[in-house]
Structure 1
Amino acid sequence: MEDASKVYERMRFKDVVTWNAMVTGYSQNGRFEDALSLFGKMREERIELDVVTWSSVISGYAQRGFGCEAMDVFRQMCGCSCRPNVVTLMSLLSGCASVGALLHGKETHCYSIKFILKGEHNDDNDDLAGINALIDMYAKCKSLEVARAMFDEICPKDRDVVTWTVMIGGYAQYGDANHALQLFSEMFKFDNCIVPNDFTISCVLMACARLAALRFGKQIHAYVLRRSRIDSDVLFVANCLIDMYSKSGDVDTAQVVFDSMSKRNAISWTSLLTGYGMHGCSEDAFRVFDEMRKEALVLDGITFLVVLYACSHSGMVDRGIDLFYRMSKDFVVDPGVEHYACMADLFGRAGRLCEATRLINDMSMEPTPVVWIALLSACRTHSNVELAEFAAKKLLELKADNDGTYTLLSNIYANARRWKDVARIRYLMKRTGIKKRPGWSWVQGRKGMETFYVGDRTHSQSQKIYETLADLIQRIKAIGYVPQTNFALHDVDDEEKGDQLLEHSEKLALAYAS
C-alpha cells in the first residue's frame, strides 16, 4: 500500500478510477481513516463519485461494525442520484446485520427488489450473491423464519456454498441449533452435492457446541481430517473444534487439538481456558492462565471471568479472592459487573453470604440483575429466607421479575415450609402474566436429538422409559440414594414429593439413553 501511495502522490492527473483504487486499497488494508480522508478530499475537489467510491466507503463501515454510519453513507449516495449495485447492497445489508437493524434491512430488501435484483446488467451469480446477503441479514437480525423462507425459495441446484453457510450459521448462532445440524446433513443429499468450506464447518461446530452434541462434533472433525479441501489447521476451524470439545465435556480432546495447532491466537487460549473453567478444573485453568502470561498474551476481562468461574465451581475460594483483588492492581483490568456476580457466586457457594453481601454493597457500579440472581441462588442453597427476600426485592426494583426470580424465591419458601408464601408467589406470577418455563433436557440418540420435558409422556417409548427409570431409582436407593425433597413446591408427604422428582426431565433423558 505504501508503494501505491507513492505512485499516487507523483501522478499529475488523477481520474475517478485512480481515487477509487486508493480509497478501496486503504479500506481493504485496515487503513479506513485514510480511506475516509481521501473520500472527503474527493468531495471537496468536486470529483464525481461513482458507485465504486460509495460502495468502498459503505463496505469499510460495515466491515468494522458501524452499521448506522454505513446506512448514512447509503442515504447520501441515493441523494446524489448514484444507482447502487449488488456490491453496494451486500455491504449495506452487512451493516444492517452488524447492528441488528431489521427495519432498515427490510427497507433495503424492498429497494433491492425494485432497483437491483433481476436487473438487466446482472447475471444469475450477482442475484444469488444479493439473496445470500439478504438471508444473512435476516438471520443475524433473528428473523429466522423469513431467512428460511428465502432459502427454501432458491432451487437446491442453484444454491452455492455461501447460501448453505449463511443459513446454517444463522441457526447455529441465533436460532435452533438442531436445525443447523439437520441443514448440514441435507447439503449432501442432493445430486449436485455442495462441498462445505471452512466457514460452513465452523458454523456447524458452533451448533454442536451449543447442543453439547459430542458425537456429531466428532463426525464433523473426522470429516475435516478426511477432506483435503478443509484444513483443520485453519485457525478459526481449530478454535471452533476446541470450543466444541470443551462445551461437550471432552476437555482432554480439546487439549489435544490445542497442542496440535501450529499457530494459536488469544481465542485459542481463551477457548481452552473456558473449557477447563466451565467444568470446574481449576488447577488446569490456572495452568493455562499461567502459560498465557508466559506467552505475553494480553489478559482481558473474559480471561479473569473464566478463571474466577473455575474457582467458584471447584471451591477454591481464597485463590479466587486473591485473583479478583489482583486484577486491577497487577493486570490493569478493572472488574466489571460480571466479575462481581462471579465473586458473589463464589462466596455464596461457600456459604459466606455476609461477605457476598458486603462485596455487593461495596461495588463501584450499580449491581445489575445478574449480581442479585447470584446472591438469590446462594440463598436457596443455604436456606437464607431473609436475605433472599432482600435480593428478590432488588430484582423487582430493577424490573428483572422473570420466571426464574419467582421460581427461586418460591423454592426458598417451600424449603422453609412457608406454603402461604409459595401460594402468594404463584398468585403474583399469575396476576402479572409470568409463566414458568418448563424444564427440559435433551440427549443424542441414534436417530438424532431427543428432547424431554418435566413429566413428559409424549415419547413413543414413554412406558419403557419410565420402567427403566423406576429400575434405576431402585438400584441407587439400594446403595444409599435419598431424594432431596426440600424444594418440591407442594405441601404433600415426602413419598409423594419423591414421586414428583422422578419426572424431572434430566432423569427421563438419562433413562432413555440407558
Structure 2
Amino acid sequence: MKSLGWTPDHYTFPFVFKACAEFPSLSLGASLHATICRSSFASNVFVCNAVVAMYGKCGALHHAHNMFDDLCQRGIQDLVSWNSIVSAYISVLVDDVFVGNAMVDMYAKCGRLEHALSLFEKMREETIELDVVTWTAVITGYAQRGQVSTKDRDVVTWTVMIGGYAQHGDANHALQLFSEMFQTDKSIKPNDFTLSCTLVACARLAALSIVQGVVQLVVTNLIGTYIACNSASNAILLVERLTPSLSSVFWWNKLIRRALHIGIPRDVFSLYRRMKSLGWTPDHYTFPFVFKACAEFPSVSLGASLHATVCRSGFASNVFVCNAVVAMYGKCGALHHAHNMFDDLCQRGIQDLVSWNSIVSAYMYAFDANTALALFSKMTTLHRISPDVISLVNILPACASLAASLRGKQVHGFAIRSGLVDDVFVGNAVVDMYAKCGRMEEANKVFQRMKFKDVVSWNAMVTGYSQAGRLEHALSLGQALRFGRQIHAYVLRNCYDSVMLFVANCLIDMYSKSGDVDTGQIVFDNMPQRNAVSWTSLMTGYGMHGRGEDALRVFGEMREVPLVPDSITFLVLLYACSHSGMVDHGIDLFNRMSKDFGVDPGPEHYACMVDLWGRAGCLGEAMKLINEMPMEPTPVVWVALLSACRLHSNIELGEFAANRLLELESGNDGSYTLLSNLYANARRWKDVARIRYMMKRSGIKKRPGCSWVQGRKGVATFFVGDRSHSQSQLINETLADLIQRIKAIGYVPQTSFALHDVDDEEKGDLLFEHSEKLALAYGILTLPPGAPIRITKNLRICGDCHSAISYISKIIEHEIILRDSSRFHHFKNGSCSCKGYW
C-alpha cells in the first residue's frame, strides 16, 4: 500500500497495531508507533488507544502506561483509553496481587469506583488471593464517595463490604450486613464469593448455627444448579439430605416440574412416590404437575386414583388443583368425569376462567364442537367472563369444524377489541377458521395484518386456497415456502441446528412435507438433542410416504431412549400402518395402547383402525369396531368407512355411513362427493343426479380437482380438461403418445372412474383430461431427463390416473413424486411406493 504511494489514515493504523498485538511483535509495534509520532495522528485518540492496547498485549506495561499518561496530560483520554490500560494490567496480573492492589487503589483514589470494582472482580475470577490491602482500597473508595444508596447496591457491592469487614476482623458487622442484604432487596442472590466471605466471619465468631444456615444456602443453590443442568439424580440426593427446616416441598415440586418439562411422565410419578415415602405432603403446586403427567401419559386410572387422594387431603376446594383434574380427565378422554368435576366447581361457585377453558378444551379434544361452542357462549354471555388467548385458541377450531363463520367472526371481533388478535396463536386460529369456512378473503386480510407469521400461518393459507380451488394464490404463497432449503443452509452456517431444537423439528417437518423424508432423517440423525416432537415428526413423515416399516423402526428407537409414547405417537403409527397395508402391526399397536402403555384410544385412533380394516377390504370388522366404540363415532370415523365402501363398492354400508356422516356434517362437500362416486361406480345414475341436486339445493359446491407441477420456468396449474395453457396442444399430443405407448405394455383405462353416464369411449376421453395426467405431460416436456417430476393435487388421485402414471414411470427416465390430499406417491420403474394402499 505504501510502496504504491498510498498514505495510511486513522483507520489503517489501529488495524496494523492489532495485528502486531496478535502476532505478537513488540518491535514492529514500536516501529509503527514511531511512525505515528512523526505524523499528525499522534493526537488522534482512536490511534493512540490502539497503541496502548498493543503495548499491553505485547507485555510492555511500562510503554503502555507512558502512552496512557500522555493521553491524560493532554486531556484526550476516553473510556476506551481506560479500558485499554485496565486490560493491559490485567493481562500481566497472573498471581501478582501487588500490581492488582496498586491498580485498585489508584482507581479508588481517582473516584473511578466502577473500574476498581471491575478489576477487583477480575482478580477474584483469576483466583488471585485478595488481602487486607485489596479490601481496604475498595472500602476506601466507598468511603470517599459517601454512603452508597440502596438502589445502587448489587451483589458485588454487598460482597465487597461483607468481605472487607471480615478481613478486618469485624465479623459482627460482616454478619449484620449479610442479614441486611436479604432484608433490603429480596431479588439479590448471594454468589459463591459472598457466601465464602460470610463463612470467614462465622469462623472468627465460632458461630456454628450461622455456619449451618450458610451451608444450607450453598446446598440449595447447588440443587438449583443441578436441576438447571438436567442432573436430576444429584439434585435428588441433595434434596433428601437437607435439614427439615430447609427441605421444603418446594424442591420436590421443582424436580417434578423439571421431569414434566422434558417430557418424562414416568419420572414425575416416581418422584411423587419418593417424596411421599420420605414423609413429605404434596401441596397445591404438586398435584397439578402430577395430573398433567397423567394427561400426557395418558392414564385415566392413575388420574382417578390421584383425584381420590386430593379429595382426602383437603385440596378438593382448591380451584387450582380442581382445574388440573378437569383438564386431566378431558385429555384422557373421560369426558363424563371432566364434566362432573366442572359441574361440582360451578355448584360451589369457585370456577374461574381456567375452569371454563379446561372443559371447553375437553370437548374439543373429544371432537364435540357443538357442546364446546355452547359452553363458550354460556361463559361469555351468562357468566360474563372475558376470554383469554387460550379460550380463543380453543373455540376458533370449533367454529371451523362446524363451518360457523358468523360465530367465528364474532370471536374474531372480540379478539380485535381486546388486542388478543396480535398473539400469533390467536392469529393462526383466526386464519385457519376463515380458511376452513371457505372465507379466503377474510383469511387473507387477517394473514396480511399479522405482525408475526410462523409455519402454521403459511400452511393454513396454502391449504385454504388449495381446498378452495384457488391454486394461483396457493402457489404464490408456496413460492415463499420454497426458501426452506435456503433457510436450512443458513441454519447450518450459523450452527442453529445444534442449539435450536424447535428449528430442527421444523426442518424435519418441512422436508417430509416437501417429499424428501430422507433428508428429514439426516436432520434428525444430526440433532444433539431430541424431544417427543422430533420423533413424532419423523414418524409422521414416513407415514405420509407409505414407509410404515421405517415408522415402526423409529418407534423402536424412541422406546430405547427411553421416551414414553403418547396418544399422538400412536395416532401417527396407526396412520403409517394403514397407508402401508400393515394390518397385523396396526392391530397389535391398537391392542397394546392401553394394555402396555396406559394410553386410552380416542375417536381419532378408532378412525385410523376403521381406515386400516377398510383399506384391507375387511368392512365387517370395521363396522364391528365402530359399534364397540366407547364414545359416539365422530365424522372422521364415518368418512373412513365411507371411503372404504367406495373403494370396495359396498353400496348398502356406504349409504349407512353417508347418512350418519351427513347428520353430523351436512355442509361437507366431500361427503356428498364420496356417495356420488359410490353410486357412479355402480352405474346408479339416478342416485348420482339426486345427490348432485341435493348439493345444488343446499348451496354446496364440489371442489374442482386441479394439479400443479414445477416446470423449468416455474409452476404450472391444470384443471380437468384444461386448454388454457400456451403449450396446450403440445401437452395433449405428448399425453396421447404416452397413453398409446403404455396401452401397448398392458395399461387398460379404468372407466369406472369416469363419473358420467356416457359410453366407454367417451369415458376414456374424460379420463385422458384428468389434471394430474396433464401436469405430468407438461413436466416431461419441460424438465431435463432424470430430473424428478413433482406434482401436487388438491384431491385424492383417481384410480385410473394412479394406474396410468405407474405405467408411464416404466417408460420414462423420471421419478414421479405426486402428493395428493391423503399422502405421497413415489412412482418409479412401473411401481408406486404406496403398494396399492392409498
> Same-fold call, TM > 0.5?
yes
CA distance in 1, matches of 2:394, 2:749: 48
Q: Could you tell me which residue of structure 2 aligns to residue 146 of structure 1?
A: 445
CA distance in 2, matches of 1:213, 1:466: 31
* 1:40-51 alignment, distance < 5 Å: none
Q: How far 1:321 moved relative to its partner?
A: 1.0
Paired AA for residue 703 in structure 2: R
CA distance in 1, matches of 2:633, 2:707: 31
1:314 and 2:580 matched? yes
Counterpart of 1:486 (choices 722, 732, 752) is 752
* Change over 3 Å in CA distance of 1:105–1:313 after alignment to 2: closer
CA distance in 2, matches of 1:104, 1:407: 31
Q: How far 1:507 moved relative to its partner?
A: 1.5
Q: How far 1:174 moved relative to its partner?
A: 2.7
CA distance in 2, matches of 1:482, 1:440: 23
Paired AA for residue 399 in structure 1: E
Tell me whether 442-451 or 432-441 shows the greater mean CA deviation. 442-451
Tell me whether 372-381 or 429-438 shows the greater mean CA deviation. 429-438
Counterpart of 2:730 (choices 461, 464, 469) is 464
Cα contact 2:430–2:446 (8 A) shared by 1: no
Q: Could you tell me which residue of structure 2 aligns to residue 172 of structure 1?
A: 458
1:344 and 2:643 matched? no
1:374 and 2:656 matched? no
1:218 and 2:504 matched? no
CA distance in 1, matches of 2:180, 2:698: 67
* Change over 3 Å in CA distance of 1:388–1:93 after alignment to 2: closer
Aligned residues: 393
1:418 and 2:684 matched? yes
Question: Considering only aligned residues, what root-mean-square deviation do their CA atoms show, in Å?
Answer: 4.3
Q: How far 1:233 moved relative to its partner?
A: 4.8
Paired AA for residue 221 in structure 1: H
CA displacement, residues 38-58 of structure 1 (integer Å, 9 cap, x when unaligned): xxxxxxxxxxxxxxxxxxxx9
Q: How far 1:219 moved relative to its partner?
A: 3.3
Larger radius of gyration: 2
Tell me whether 398-407 or 279-288 shows the greater mean CA deviation. 398-407
1:431 and 2:670 matched? no
Please state whether the residue corresponding to 2:722 is helix, strand or coil.
coil
Cα contact 2:497–2:527 (8 A) shared by 1: no
* Change over 3 Å in CA distance of 1:429–1:510 after alignment to 2: same
CA distance in 1, matches of 2:595, 2:458: 39
TM-score by length of 1: 0.66
Q: How far 1:333 moved relative to its partner?
A: 0.5
Q: Could you tell me which residue of structure 1 aligns to residue 765 of structure 2?
A: 499
Unpaired segments of 5 or more residues in structure 2? 1-154, 156-177, 188-249, 259-283, 286-352, 362-375, 397-407, 432-441, 466-473, 781-838
CA distance in 2, matches of 1:303, 1:322: 14
Paired AA for residue 697 in structure 2: R
CA displacement, residues 331-363 of structure 1 (integer Å, 9 cap, x when unaligned): 101111111111111111111111111111111
CA distance in 1, matches of 2:180, 2:691: 72
CA distance in 1, matches of 2:579, 2:613: 11
Q: Could you tell me which residue of structure 1 aligns to residue 660 of structure 2?
A: 394
Please state whether the residue corresponding to 1:141 is helix, strand or coil.
helix
1:384 and 2:650 matched? yes
CA distance in 1, matches of 2:670, 2:538: 30
Please state whether the residue corresponding to 2:774 is helix, strand or coil.
helix
Paired AA for residue 438 in structure 1: P
CA displacement, residues 243-280 of structure 1 (integer Å, 9 cap, x when unaligned): 11222222221111111111111111111111112222
Please state whether the residue corresponding to 2:631 is helix, strand or coil.
coil
Unpaired segments of 5 or more residues in structure 1? 16-25, 35-57, 79-90, 113-129, 152-162, 180-206
* Change over 3 Å in CA distance of 1:461–1:7 after alignment to 2: farther
CA displacement, residues 73-113 of structure 1 (integer Å, 9 cap, x when unaligned): xxx9x9xxxxxxxxxxxx9779866765865765675687x
Paired AA for residue 146 in structure 1: K
* Change over 3 Å in CA distance of 1:339–1:170 after alignment to 2: closer
Q: Could you tell me which residue of structure 1 aligns to residue 66 of structure 2?
A: none
Q: Could you tell me which residue of structure 2 aligns to residue 156 of structure 1?
A: none
CA distance in 2, matches of 1:248, 1:342: 23
Cα contact 2:462–2:478 (8 A) shared by 1: no
* Change over 3 Å in CA distance of 1:7–1:267 after alignment to 2: farther
CA distance in 1, matches of 2:552, 2:179: 52
* 1:321-336 alignment, distance < 5 Å: 321-336=587-602
CA displacement, residues 11-43 of structure 1 (integer Å, 9 cap, x when unaligned): 48999xxxxxxxxxx9xx999x98xxxxxxxxx
Q: Could you tell me which residue of structure 2 aligns to residue 235 of structure 1?
A: 501
Paired AA for residue 373 in structure 1: V
1:284 and 2:550 matched? yes
Q: How far 1:475 moved relative to its partner?
A: 2.1
Q: How far 1:386 moved relative to its partner?
A: 1.0
* Change over 3 Å in CA distance of 1:8–1:263 after alignment to 2: farther
Identity of aligned residues (%): 63
* Change over 3 Å in CA distance of 1:102–1:486 after alignment to 2: closer
Cα contact 1:344–1:375 (8 A) shared by 2: yes
Paired AA for residue 571 in structure 2: L
* Change over 3 Å in CA distance of 1:387–1:178 after alignment to 2: closer
Please state whether the residue corresponding to 1:296 is helix, strand or coil.
coil
CA distance in 2, matches of 1:7, 1:251: 60
Please state whether the residue corresponding to 2:680 is helix, strand or coil.
helix
Q: How far 1:442 moved relative to its partner?
A: 2.2
* Change over 3 Å in CA distance of 1:149–1:214 after alignment to 2: closer
Cα contact 1:134–1:147 (8 A) shared by 2: no
CA distance in 1, matches of 2:425, 2:573: 35
TM-score by length of 2: 0.42
1:477 and 2:737 matched? no
